[in-house]
A and B are shown apart, each in its own frame.
Chain A
């Protein structure tokens, strides 16, 4: 079984719709992250959480919100999706007590029409 899972893997939605992307991990890591990947731009950090109820903005948090209600789950929401939020979204986890290396989920491809 995969250590970091993301649902859905693909989603097509319309402008203005509310969307939630889910991330779950079985690694027991305390830290979780959401990234966005666009062609030619690499990975950019949206939000991160170092513990349950801890939320921190990343490089590009505008238009997004997150929720960390349990250690194993970190959800990303787009309250009102817009076309330039079309991208690949990745969740990652890391262990603060170890080397803090980040491990990524398989990604969610989101298309906003």
Chain B
């Protein structure tokens, strides 16, 4: 099946720093999604991307759908302690006849005040 490689696995940063994480795939995706999961909660959708090259922002978060359709990145600017959590990318393949997503293994973000 399709696989997503998400990196880094974890990050420990100081408050105020910018953060960047990315996902790459061996196959083409037609949708990229970024979710955040806080302890004890389910993943919450942050940003959805539907077109190659698309750049979308949500507050301090910015995500881009790679031109090759095989990658996406998420940037967080000026991090704050409440940014702590696990960030997941998810993609839906071009050849998939079904509406299922493939998830990356997640990036755990820790922010020190």
Question: Interface on chain B toward A: helix, strand, loop, or mixed SS?
Answer: loop
Tell me, yes or no, whether B67 is within 8 Å of chain A by CB. Answer: no
**Would A106 and B41 count as touching, CB distance under 8 A?**
yes
Q: State the total of A-B contacts with C-beta under 8 angstroms.
A: 53
Query: Smallest Cβ distance from B40 to chain A, in angstroms?
Result: 8
Within 8 A of A (CB), among B23-69: 31, 33, 35, 40-45, 48, 50
**Would A31 and B99 count as touching, CB distance under 8 A?**
yes
Distance of A51 Cα from B44 Cα, bound (Å)? 23
B-contact bits for A68-103, CB 8 A (1 contact / 0 none): 000000000000000000000010101010011111
Interface residues of A, count at CB 8 A: 27
Interface residues of B, count at CB 8 A: 24
- Chain A residues within 8 Å of B, Cβ to Cβ: 4, 31, 33, 40-45, 48, 50, 56, 58-59, 90, 92, 94, 96, 99-107
